[in-house]
Structure 1
Amino acid sequence: MRPDPPQAAESRHSLRPHQFRELAAGEGGPETLTVLARAEYSHRLLLCDLLMDTLAPLPGVTGPLPAAERAWDLLAAAQRHRPEAVEDLLLLPETGLWLNRLLARLRTPARAETPLWADAGHLHALAAAAAVRSGLTFSFPVPAHHGAVRLPALGLARLPVARRDGAAWDTAVVRASGGRVSVVGRCGRTALPVRPDRPAPGWAPVRRVALTPGGPHRIVVDDVGAHRIAPLPYGAARRLAPPAYEDWSRLLREAYALLVDVDPPTADAARVLLRSLQPLPPHEPFRVRSVTSGHGVGGMASSLPDSAAQCAATLVHELQHSKLSALLHLRPLYEPGRTRALYYAPWRDDPRPLGGMLQGAYAFTAVARFWQAYAARYPRAADTAVARFDGALWATQLAYAVPGPAADPALDATGRSALQDLLGAVRRLGAGTGDRPEERLAHRMARDHRATWRLAHVRPHPRDVAALAAAWSAGRTRPPVLPARRWPPRDAGHRHLDARAMLVRIGLARPAALDELRDRPGDTVPGVTGASRGDLLWACGDPDGARRLHLRDLRYPARRPGAWTGLALALADTGEAPEAVAALTAVPELVAAVHRAVTEHEGRPPDPVDLARWLGRA
């Protein structure tokens, strides 16, 4: 019979009304966040219990390792000696990721790179790590991959491997006695140092960063773990070189200091919830690649941000995801089966369902709050113009994006209340937007992104397109008035719809950088994926040159679909054809579709500006 599992401090968790309102508005103080953290621990314990129930009727599922109940025995023994060590291990983001992925694999068996016994054997590695941290005397088998043994929250041991043995997976034994720990394999052993946080031959310890020098809260820089938010083949993660680790350490400390100064709710969330960061490869300037998972609350994966402020904004973004995911584990806000609606999400290239909209709106409301507070606190900083731009951009885009999901019928009463609180926060952000040049530019970029998204994903009705194409070909002076028809958006696969906003950020940060990009040969823009040369000329203040190149690109619309909306920006800057600008901003997908239909009917393309001007008269 399985022993009692490790226990959470409370058997029931609930939020008081004022705590729920704090979270719904995107904030939450230490007391509220602690409730979420305790509830998340109980959630992990329930998943562990579910896993044990699922494994119990599967004899031999752990292969050459002892039965899962033996690992559970060791974990329970460690919990009796040092409960905080077990709690720390179970709250690791990688533990949540592993639990959910293994449970899904057991429900729906499928081919996988990792053998099932080794996947289930992560429980043995967790138990061994807990026993080491609890000071137990024990000897216990764990999985080994090409001689590498990963002990969660401790580090990576590398064992000698026989050259003739081509098997990827084997077992090793973790032994502890008298304060000494070793990992023993078929061909040798690795001894851990007395202090496992120190490196030693064959031993790479988990590295941590203190948010404040010497402070108690330390973040795991998870560069060797196997269960990752952004999945990689098992064992493919590579340890950061010392300079890269130092860059991350510096940025995290500087970012946390900024949060304490300008965004205390996120600083509180970092202290209570943030547990690990998985570094990702470098990305383009102003395009930090970051990701979280609802199954790995408290964890994030990210490429290295360009500055402390950008790192702080990334922490804001990803910690909001963790807060909302923990809240949804405690109290669902909607019924997934009640809606199939897809929405415009300014932070994504693709249409998003309700769940994705909640996560994105919740995160970017806090991001906008951070940038507005940062710009107000540091009005003369080098990156203040970019901060004002981003604060105004996200506030404007959220005002477009949040009302639709807030009325979705799948929301329950609590969800509707939460979305109303979030809408209130969005309105306050809009009221905080001024009329500086970078803020006016943000409003333009918000309209441009929405138009470019429509161009990529909204489908005009074929009858409307045919009627308009026939009216144009017949020489009618005004287009016919047609009934409004709405089709659900579809993901056409277009990506990097934010390329022009990226060029704006580069220009605000260092105007000379745009000139340097313009001077480089070629038809692409290095370092700004998705941007065309026409986009670059517009960002450099050359709307006539941009107009010329966008018209050229419209000869090949499949290659440059964003040329239609780029043309609208150029025309607006020259003051030419306001009716065309109106059509290309409001219904660019209709302009593009009618242009194709006329071209197919007449055998030659109509002038894009004349056609857009004609459609704009409606």
Structure 2
Amino acid sequence: MAQASGAAPDAEPLHRLTSRQFESLIRGEGDADALTALVLAERSHRLLILDLVMDSLTAMEGVGRPLPAPQRAWNLLATAQRIAPAVVQELLDLPETGLWAGQLLQRLRAPKPTELPLWADVGHLHSIAAAAAVRAGLSFSFPVPSVEGRVDLPTLGQARLPHRAPWETAVLTFRDGGVALTSETGTLRLPGDLGRPAPGWLPLHRDEVRPPGAPAVRVTLDDLGRHRIVPPPMGAARRLPADAAAGLAKLIQEGCDLLVEADPPSAVTVGALLRTVQPMSAHEAFRVRSASSAHAVGGLALSWPDSELACAAALVHELQHSKLNALSHLVPLSEEGPSPERLYYAPWRDDPRPLPGMLQGIYAFTGVTRFWRGRTRLPAERYEQLNWFEFALWRGQLASVLPRVATDPELTAEGRRLLAAVRSTVADWAAESPATPAAREAVRLAERLATDHRALWRLHHVRPHPADTDELTAAWLRGDEPVLPIRRRRVRGERRQRHLDARAVLARIRLVDPVALVKLRDVVEKDEVPGVSGAGRADLLWATGDPSAAEEHFTRTVVDGTAPPAAWAGLRLTWEETGRSPEAVRALGAVPEVVCAVARAVRRRTGTPVDPVGLAHWVARGLGEKVKEAKEAKEAKEAGEA
């Protein structure tokens, strides 16, 4: 266990990955030995954070009042460890312990206004120590914090006092196997069996996940604790009824079963890392919300999955984040303080992302892609089209972003090795293709929607320089050839638009349940689609196989000046399917923000709308010139080097 304070780090690192372990992890996988090494390293990292917390608290006189000094809580924890070391280790390994310690350390180093008093925040250490002492069978009395009448005992449950003061203290006493909490309003006696609910006591939901052929893993459904991976209100703790908790546990088990047959590396990761799932409210179909934290390796927040498939994919996604977070604590992958000005297109997000976020996304979706690839290789799979759609979509999206991110100057040598390994893996997947016509159509659909998402992202986040827009607008009005800008544009980092994946969600519904999609189209009259935020009627028309009607709708909004950015990208998608000008399709795929900006500028200057096909075709001529110039410049450079 860590020192109470002041422990100096060793001159040499305590944990190292072998070359084989590192190679296993940077491929996005991680065998049992590599994952064990990560777990042990993460334990040391956790103890280091706790040691830094204790150092900071020791220097702050009276920080625990009205609770005992933090050192006394630490001493109680150390006493429990001598009797029940496995219990204390479990408490320290909890993702929520890491989340609390990491956030508290940030608070101590850079204080920010918050409603929770510092003593109540620090007092979570007292709650951890008290829970350890109860489980170790120690006889003791010790004050713990109560927040809104709730007293958390990690790994055990939550007591609810009758008086719900914002924050106060309660004395927890354990004698002769009985637990009692005494506050100003009286004494609450907890049940003898803390695994059963009772008045004033809610035990944790704990279930075993049993990957076939592997030891069972105890997973906590944390619907009580106040240390949340996703902050309230979306991630707020809400007690699940027993049947709902059993239903979620069943989905997690079924998801793990799918991993065993389709993605064995992720099944191994579940056994090595998964400890806590924090439930969130259900979301839309094919839009499971999930999240993880660098402080809470092994924990994840999860909205209610609509199927075991969605649950499996979410588990892969978030446990990949946990793996990379643990690896990053051991081996830095990028330099400290990456440039906030260098932002990337992330196909799995609505907003631009800096380098660390791109590394996380790339690593996570390498695992997700591997899972869907495994699904495509299963015989007689009823979700064949969905499997191929997801595999092709994410395989292509990874291939599109990896080359640029791999050249970022702030990558460390290890970060470059990781991206090189992922690129090699994705390249190996590139040649794989389905055998059936239906699956081949799903692949083509994925490729079209990958371009659609990128066009939507550019329309929302890339802004041409006003001078470029002015020059192009003047050229259009004069009837001149376009001179397309090269670098005079900027990426907006704010996240104003959401649900750029709306058409992809409709496509997934079409692949799984086309009849339901048609029924939805027949009842939707307004430009909103129930259950698919961000989608409109034109998107439904396209998704149900009527691109001509969808094109008419998109064109009408563009011509009358009411078009949102999604309509311009929708035009590209429908033109591609109806056989409109390939050049216009290319322009709206490559520089849709330029076409949109010029159309708006022409309308402002003349009061007359432009023909979107004609304008996009005209911009494409400028694209052709740029490609030609770039090719000539490259050839000249190569000739000079020769």
The TM tier, using the shorter chain, reads over 0.9
Q: Secondary structure at the match of 1:392?
A: helix
Which residue in the other structure is 2:169 paired with? Answer: 171
Which residue in the other structure is 1:504 paired with? Answer: 507
Question: By how many angstroms is 1:218 displaced?
Answer: 0.8
Residue identity over aligned pairs, in percent, reads 53
Which residue in the other structure is 1:189 paired with? Answer: 187
Question: By how many angstroms is 1:379 displaced?
Answer: 3.7
The answer as to whether partners of 1:372 and 1:432 remain within 8 angstroms in 2 is no
Which residue in the other structure is 1:53 paired with? Answer: 55
Which residue in the other structure is 2:99 paired with? Answer: 97
Question: By how many angstroms is 1:234 displaced?
Answer: 12
| Corresponding residue to 2:567 among 563, 566, 571 | 563
The residue type equivalent to 1:146 in the other structure is E
Q: Find the aligned partners of 2:142 and 2:432 in 1 and give their Cα distance.
A: 59
| Corresponding residue to 1:156 among 158, 161, 164 | 158
Alignment of 1:273-422 (within 5 A): 273-337=273-337, 339-340=339-340, 341-381=342-382, 383-422=383-422
The answer as to whether partners of 1:145 and 1:235 remain within 8 angstroms in 2 is no
Q: Find the aligned partners of 1:168 and 1:54 in 2 and give their Cα distance.
A: 26
The Cα offsets for residues 26-48 of structure 1, whole Å up to 9 and x where unpaired, read as 00111110110111111111111
Question: By how many angstroms is 1:483 displaced?
Answer: 5.0
Which residue in the other structure is 2:581 paired with? Answer: 577
Q: Does 1:610 align with 2:614?
A: yes
Which residue in the other structure is 1:18 paired with? Answer: 20
Q: Find the aligned partners of 2:135 and 2:359 in 1 and give their Cα distance.
A: 39
Which residue in the other structure is 1:588 paired with? Answer: 592
Q: Find the aligned partners of 1:235 and 1:367 in 2 and give their Cα distance.
A: 23
Q: Secondary structure at the match of 1:617?
A: helix
The Cα offsets for residues 127-149 of structure 1, whole Å up to 9 and x where unpaired, read as 10111111111110000123221
The residue type equivalent to 2:371 in the other structure is F
Question: By how many angstroms is 1:466 displaced?
Answer: 1.6
Q: Find the aligned partners of 2:196 and 2:422 in 1 and give their Cα distance.
A: 45
Q: Find the aligned partners of 2:167 and 2:393 in 1 and give their Cα distance.
A: 50
Q: Find the aligned partners of 2:157 and 2:374 in 1 and give their Cα distance.
A: 39
The residue type equivalent to 1:85 in the other structure is V
Shift in CA distance, 213/295, structure 1 to aligned 2, threshold 3 Å = closer
The answer as to whether partners of 1:6 and 1:79 remain within 8 angstroms in 2 is no
Question: By how many angstroms is 1:311 displaced?
Answer: 0.6
Question: By how many angstroms is 1:463 displaced?
Answer: 2.6
Question: By how many angstroms is 1:558 displaced?
Answer: 6.8
Q: Find the aligned partners of 1:429 and 1:113 in 2 and give their Cα distance.
A: 51
Which residue in the other structure is 2:604 paired with? Answer: 600
The answer as to whether partners of 1:190 and 1:203 remain within 8 angstroms in 2 is no
Question: By how many angstroms is 1:319 displaced?
Answer: 0.3
Q: Secondary structure at the match of 1:519?
A: helix
Which residue in the other structure is 2:541 paired with? Answer: 537
4+ residue runs over 4 A deviation: 2-8, 233-236, 555-559
Question: By how many angstroms is 1:178 displaced?
Answer: 2.3
The residue type equivalent to 2:399 in the other structure is A
Q: Find the aligned partners of 2:608 and 2:234 in 1 and give their Cα distance.
A: 54
The answer as to whether partners of 1:369 and 1:429 remain within 8 angstroms in 2 is no
The answer as to whether partners of 1:6 and 1:76 remain within 8 angstroms in 2 is no
Which residue in the other structure is 2:636 paired with? Answer: none
Q: Does 1:495 align with 2:493?
A: no
Q: Secondary structure at the match of 1:459?
A: strand
Q: Find the aligned partners of 1:193 and 1:573 in 2 and give their Cα distance.
A: 66
Which residue in the other structure is 1:469 paired with? Answer: 473
The residue type equivalent to 2:130 in the other structure is A
Question: By how many angstroms is 1:58 displaced?
Answer: 1.3
Q: Secondary structure at the match of 1:85?
A: helix
Where does the alignment leave 5 or more consecutive residues of structure 2 unmatched? 623-642
The residue type equivalent to 1:301 in the other structure is A
Question: By how many angstroms is 1:118 displaced?
Answer: 0.5
The residue type equivalent to 1:330 in the other structure is L
Question: By how many angstroms is 1:505 displaced?
Answer: 0.3
Shift in CA distance, 11/21, structure 1 to aligned 2, threshold 3 Å = closer
Q: Find the aligned partners of 2:356 and 2:548 in 1 and give their Cα distance.
A: 43
Which residue in the other structure is 2:631 paired with? Answer: none
Q: Secondary structure at the match of 2:491?
A: coil
Moved more, 608-617 or 326-335: 608-617
The residue type equivalent to 1:406 in the other structure is A
Where does the alignment leave 5 or more consecutive residues of structure 1 unmatched? none
Which residue in the other structure is 1:265 paired with? Answer: 265
Shift in CA distance, 423/213, structure 1 to aligned 2, threshold 3 Å = closer
Q: Secondary structure at the match of 2:489?
A: coil
The answer as to whether partners of 1:338 and 1:409 remain within 8 angstroms in 2 is no
The answer as to whether partners of 2:484 and 2:619 remain within 8 angstroms in 1 is no
The Cα offsets for residues 321-355 of structure 1, whole Å up to 9 and x where unpaired, read as 00000000111111033534111100001110000
The answer as to whether partners of 2:216 and 2:271 remain within 8 angstroms in 1 is no
Which residue in the other structure is 1:67 paired with? Answer: 69
The residue type equivalent to 2:352 in the other structure is P
The Cα offsets for residues 397-437 of structure 1, whole Å up to 9 and x where unpaired, read as 00011111111111111211111111112212323344711
Q: Find the aligned partners of 1:196 and 1:6 in 2 and give their Cα distance.
A: 36
Q: Find the aligned partners of 1:530 and 1:512 in 2 and give their Cα distance.
A: 21
Q: Find the aligned partners of 2:375 and 2:69 in 1 and give their Cα distance.
A: 54
Q: How many residues align?
A: 609
